[in-house]
Structure 1
Amino acid sequence: MKKLFKNIGPGPLVAAAFIGPGTVTVCTLAGVGFGYSLLWVMLLSIVAAVVLQEMSARLGVISQKGLSQIIRTEIKHPILKTFTIVLVLSAIVIGNAAYEAGNITGGVLGLQTIIGRPNIEIDGVSINILSAIIGLIAFGLLYKGNYKLLEKVLIGLVILMSLSFLVTAIITKPSISEIFRGVFIPKVSNDGLLTVIGLIGTTVVPYNLFLHTSLVKEKWQRESDLKYARNDTVIAIVLGGLVSMCIIISGAAIQSQGIDSVLGLAKGLEPLFGSFAKYFLAMGLFAAGITSAITAPLAAAYVASGCLGWHSNLKSKKFRAVWMFILFLGVLFSSLAINPIDIIKFAQVANGVLLPVIAGFLIWIVNKPSVLGIHKNNIKQNIFGFIILGISILLSVATLNKVFQLNIF
């Protein structure tokens, strides 16, 4: 057991990255609107995330390079390379800047449920000081530049988040038989299609592929460490998926269409299951918000460093400048309650296009003996990889259809 905990590493950080306030909200709406019937989507998402993240982890351990670094060196065609780098920078750096406000706001909402809303007025402008507090916590941990400290803090927050949502789900006393039916019998209506897209899109996210390859080389440098990286990935992603399922199960306890957010769920649970349910849910939302508020700027800094050929050291000035910029924008938008709708819409489109591009590139690169040698993909890994690539293409088309209302289906 001691050896197992010693070799827990980037996996929980990746889980922390994909279980942010957006995931909590989407899972809440899935539970409220469709009960247990979309739990199978989370099972599919877990499998897809495990397959792609394992490829990312293997690539990082063996090559000792980040995914964005490998894009720069392995894509030889200048036009294709430029297109890919611009797309990656747009989706990850600009996108994470937009989403950062939502991450910080999610953490703030969790705290507000417990301690209230302490605002200050400056020249008629109301500023939420909790946004600044969460921003300072994230700043301190990132500026310290100590990977081991960052890892321990995030693992602690992930454990808090997991226990909070698990306890919330248990309090609602769900039907075990209905849960199994929802997990293993796929069913979706036309009304639930966008929710299905949302559940997959919040679990299988492009920036986690970049984050994972960069983080594993901070933790492991030897080929023999590959088994630890794999175990770490599988355990963390599966547990992260189970946390998402717990949120759906909690949402299913409230059969009301008037709930459109996790705070609505918290208020809806209180009269049925007591104030404890509300507080557990609030703690989970706080942990989800602050972990994503840390990992999103970190991922953006790794991506920018790799794409632009910078040294990706946690303490380098250029690396720090990127995550500081992302974090600053997040705190600003969150504290002033500014909603960067146009930037978020752009980030949605860029991420929708990016996922199949990066999934395809990842599958291509992990099949190259010149990069991975004997650790390149086997036939089974390729079969799963290409199935997931097909799903990501459908997800991309669905995202574009949603944003631009193309009425493709």
Structure 2
Amino acid sequence: MSLTSYRPGPAMLVTAAFIGPGTVTACASAGIGFGYGLLWALVFATLSTIILQNMAARVAIVTGQGLAEAILAAASSPPVRWATAALIFAALGIGNSAYQAGNISGTGLGLALLGIGDDLVSPPLRALATGAVAAALVIVGKPGWLEKLLIALVLAMALAFIGGLIVIDVDWSAAAAGLVPSLPADSLFTAIALIGTTVVPYNLFLHAASVRGQFSPDGEGIAAASMDTAISVTLGGILSMAVVIMGAATSAMAAASGSPLEDIALRLEELFGPPARIVFALGLVGAGFSSSLTAPLATGYVLAEMLGGSGDPARRTRIFKRTALAVIAIGTAFAVLAVNPVELILIAQSANGLLLPILAAFLLWVASRRESLGSFANGFVANLAGGLVVLVCTLLGLRLILRAAGVWP
């Protein structure tokens, strides 16, 4: 496949998933707090995501299995297999329910910034409406149709966030300097958060499920899937950088509300007029709603792979839809009860971040097995790159655990 013949494919779901309210929050905070100085962290995160998502897609294309199936099939004994299945299910079920709450809350906050129902509709009602629409799409939507909808939402986000750069003044020389790795004072935790909100564990399962049957299990199919991943994830990285740049462009102003998302929207409006606030809010709505679909879809795919059986498509479909609807219901309930949506979004990031190093290690192991992948198994360079990503993910997970225990502030 040549670049000129490229059409958006399954990897766009990855971008739709990781450009959610958590990413927008982290990027807005980074830009407001540290200007352009942490753009390099998003470059690293984007490259890491491409490496891991390529492995997940390759495993699925060559083996014909979802990632959960491939991991369980590679487990050496029934006790290991059951323990692995329980870990995957518990972590994705709990983590994605938390993420879903943040996604729904972020969508509602974006609608509020647009002024939609701000005077007539309370945040809990906005959360209920968002959850209801997401549930309806899961019930009646077909996989191919949902994929097209998510691709459209990604393109809408691109128009909003990249379009926002057109209406603001950007110091491009300072932005270029931010691509050189450095850590401004007190920026370590923010840099780690930028990486953690981009390399999202459940995207590995979502991507593997979505590529099955769409690419041929040969060199040409693998190359086409790799190009799809590289283009889609790079677009997501550019969107994240656009939000950092928006925050940096307004960083000299005093905080407006204490919420990074509201701060950046109000600062943009004060500096560059209502159009700047509107495009940012539209991007936030697209980010929240696209992720409101991908989190339950990923959880549904995983549970259907583990419990659905290989010869009963109807059973798999039932498990998939019931699981996805359960995640939406739990996330909506949490969003309705939440006092501060930004805090909920950050808690969701931490919950799923704990799973990241474990899944990255599992993926590296499965992608290196010549018994199942043959000549498409990881070589030395792929293992070296994957090992570096696993190391960084492990440090990220350790930091989250220590922070939760109060050992690391």
Q: Same fold (TM over 0.5)?
A: yes
- 1:177 CA displacement: 1.0
Q: Which amino acid aligns with 1:37?
A: G
Q: Relative to structure 1, is the Cα distance of residues 375 and 134 closer, same or farther in structure 2, using a 3 angstrom cutoff?
A: same
Query: Is 2:386 the partner of 1:389?
Result: no
1:216 aligned partner: 211
Cα distance between partner residues in 2 of 1:209 and 1:17: 11
Q: Relative to structure 1, is the Cα distance of residues 257 and 214 closer, same or farther in structure 2, using a 3 angstrom cutoff?
A: farther
Query: Is 2:19 the partner of 1:30?
Result: no
For residues 93-140 of structure 1, what are the alpha-carbon distances to aligned partners after superposition, in whole Å with 9 as ceiling and x for unaligned? 11111121110111111122223335779xxxx664332332233223
Cα distance between partner residues in 2 of 1:8 and 1:340: 32
Percent identity between matched residues is 37
Aligned pairs for 1:92-103 (under 5 A) are 92-103=92-103
For residues 74-95 of structure 1, what are the alpha-carbon distances to aligned partners after superposition, in whole Å with 9 as ceiling and x for unaligned? 1123443333222211221111
Cα distance between partner residues in 2 of 1:150 and 1:262: 27
Of 281-290 and 134-143, deviating more is 134-143
Query: Is 2:272 the partner of 1:273?
Result: yes
1:62 aligned partner: 62
SS at match of 2:178: helix
Q: Relative to structure 1, is the Cα distance of residues 257 and 365 closer, same or farther in structure 2, using a 3 angstrom cutoff?
A: farther
User: Is the 1:90–1:347 Cα contact (8 Å) retained in structure 2?
Assistant: no
For residues 345-379 of structure 1, what are the alpha-carbon distances to aligned partners after superposition, in whole Å with 9 as ceiling and x for unaligned? 98666534422221111111111112111111122
Which of 146, 151, 154 is matched with 2:147 structurally?
A: 151
Aligned pairs for 1:198-237 (under 5 A) are 198-223=193-218, 224-237=220-233
2:375 aligned partner: 374
Query: Is 2:240 the partner of 1:239?
Result: no
Cα distance between partner residues in 2 of 1:196 and 1:51: 19
Cα distance between partner residues in 2 of 1:15 and 1:156: 11
Q: Relative to structure 1, is the Cα distance of residues 119 and 88 closer, same or farther in structure 2, using a 3 angstrom cutoff?
A: farther
- 1:308 CA displacement: 3.2
Which of 233, 250, 254 is matched with 2:246 structurally?
A: 250
Cα distance between partner residues in 2 of 1:362 and 1:340: 32
Q: Relative to structure 1, is the Cα distance of residues 349 and 22 closer, same or farther in structure 2, using a 3 angstrom cutoff?
A: closer
Query: Is 2:102 the partner of 1:107?
Result: no
Of 332-341 and 74-83, deviating more is 332-341
4+ residue runs of structure 1 moved beyond 4 angstroms?
1-7, 118-121, 309-315, 338-350
- 1:279 CA displacement: 0.2
Paired residue total: 403
For residues 322-350 of structure 1, what are the alpha-carbon distances to aligned partners after superposition, in whole Å with 9 as ceiling and x for unaligned? 00111112223324446799998986665
User: Is the 1:352–1:400 Cα contact (8 Å) retained in structure 2?
Assistant: no
SS at match of 1:8: coil
Q: Relative to structure 1, is the Cα distance of residues 216 and 26 closer, same or farther in structure 2, using a 3 angstrom cutoff?
A: same
Cα distance between partner residues in 2 of 1:4 and 1:192: 40
User: Is the 1:120–1:127 Cα contact (8 Å) retained in structure 2?
Assistant: no
Cα distance between partner residues in 2 of 1:107 and 1:346: 16
Q: Relative to structure 1, is the Cα distance of residues 235 and 340 closer, same or farther in structure 2, using a 3 angstrom cutoff?
A: closer
Unmatched segments (≥5 aa) in structure 2:
none
SS at match of 1:316: helix
Cα distance between partner residues in 2 of 1:86 and 1:262: 36
Cα distance between partner residues in 2 of 1:369 and 1:353: 29
What is the root-mean-square deviation in Å for CA atoms of aligned residues? 2.7
Aligned pairs for 1:258-297 (under 5 A) are 258=255, 259-297=258-296
Aligned pairs for 1:28-177 (under 5 A) are 28-117=28-117, 128-177=124-173
User: Is the 1:94–1:347 Cα contact (8 Å) retained in structure 2?
Assistant: no
Q: Relative to structure 1, is the Cα distance of residues 399 and 57 closer, same or farther in structure 2, using a 3 angstrom cutoff?
A: same
SS at match of 1:191: coil
User: Is the 1:269–1:278 Cα contact (8 Å) retained in structure 2?
Assistant: yes
2:17 aligned partner: 17
**What TM-score do you get using the length of structure 2 for normalisation?**
0.91
Q: Relative to structure 1, is the Cα distance of residues 336 and 40 closer, same or farther in structure 2, using a 3 angstrom cutoff?
A: same
Q: Relative to structure 1, is the Cα distance of residues 50 and 10 closer, same or farther in structure 2, using a 3 angstrom cutoff?
A: same
Q: Which amino acid aligns with 2:367?
A: V
Q: Relative to structure 1, is the Cα distance of residues 29 and 344 closer, same or farther in structure 2, using a 3 angstrom cutoff?
A: closer
Aligned pairs for 1:287-366 (under 5 A) are 287-310=286-309, 316-337=317-338, 351-366=352-367
For residues 61-83 of structure 1, what are the alpha-carbon distances to aligned partners after superposition, in whole Å with 9 as ceiling and x for unaligned? 11111111112211123443333
User: Is the 1:32–1:252 Cα contact (8 Å) retained in structure 2?
Assistant: yes
